[in-house]
Structure 1
Amino acid sequence: MNDLDSLCQSSLFSEIAPNDIKKILKCLSATRKEYAKDEMIVREGDFVNDIGIILHGIAQSTKLNIAGKQIIVSLHYPGGYTAVLTAVSRGRKCPMSVQALEPLAVLFIPVKNILSRCTKLCMVHEQLLGNLFDSIAERALELHDRNDCLIMPTIRDKVLTYLIRVSSEVGAQTFSIPFDREALAEYLDVDRSALSRELAWMKRDGLIDFYKNEFKLLNN
Structure 2
Amino acid sequence: MDISVLHNSILFKGFDDTEISELLKALNAAEKKYKKGTMIFSSGEITDKLCFVTAGSVTVESNDMWGNRTILNLVGEGQFFAESYALLPDVPMLVDVCAAVDCTVVFLSMKSLADLNDTIRARLLANLLTITTRKNLHLSSRSFHTAPRQVRGRIMAYLNTESVQKHSREFDIHFDRQQLADYLNVERSVLSNELSKMQRDGLIRCRKNHFEII
Shorter-chain TM-score tier: over 0.9
Q: Could you say which residue in structure 1 is the equivalent of 2:19?
A: 20
Residue identity over aligned pairs, in percent, reads 30
Question: Please, which runs of 5 or more residues in structure 2 have no aligned partner?
Answer: none
CA distance in 2, matches of 1:31, 1:89: 20
Q: 1:129 aligns with which of 125, 131, 138?
A: 125
Pair 140,149 (structure 1): closer, same or farther in 2 beyond 3 Å: same
Q: Does 1:169 align with 2:162?
A: no
Matched residue of 1:202: which SS?
helix
Alignment of 1:27-106 (within 5 A): 27-65=26-64, 67-106=66-105
SS at match of 2:205: strand
| Off by >4 Å, runs of 4+ in structure 1 | none
Please state if 1:9 is matched with 2:5. no
Q: State the alpha-carbon separation in 2 of the partners of residues 16 and 198 from structure 1.
A: 47
Residue 217 of structure 1 aligns with which residue? 213
Encode CA deviations 1:143-193: one digit per residue, 9 max, x unaligned. 111121111111011001100101111111100111222211111010111
Conserved in 2, the CA contact under 8 Å of 1:6 and 1:56? no
TM-superposition CA deviations, 1:42-61 (whole Å, max 9, x none) = 11121121111112221111
Answer yes or no: is 1:156 the counterpart of 2:152.
yes
- TM normalised by structure 2 equals 0.92
- Normalised to the residue count of structure 1, the TM-score between the two structures is 0.90
Name the aligned partner's letter for residue 209 of structure 1: R
Give 1:106 deviation, angstroms: 1.5
* Deviation at residue 65 of structure 1 after TM alignment: 4.4
CA root-mean-square deviation: 1.7
Structure 1, 97-106 or 58-67: larger mean CA deviation: 58-67
Deviation of residue 82 (structure 1)? 2.4
Q: Find the aligned partners of 2:17 and 2:74 in 1 and give their Cα distance.
A: 26
SS of aligned partner of 1:13: coil
Instruction: Report if aligned partners of 1:176, 1:214 keep a CA contact under 8 Å in 2.
Output: yes
Query: Does the 8 A contact of 2:170 with 2:210 survive in 1?
Result: yes
Q: How far 1:101 moved relative to its partner?
A: 2.3
SS at structure 2 position matched to 1:153: coil
Displacement after TM superposition at 1:215 (Å) = 0.5
Gaps of 5+ in 1: none
The amino acid across from 1:104 in the alignment is: C
1:146/1:65 CA distance change after superposition, 3 Å: farther
In structure 1, distance between residues paired with 2:6 and 2:26: 16
Q: Residue 152 of structure 2: SS of its match in structure 1?
A: helix
Cα distance, 1:36 vs structure 2? 2.4
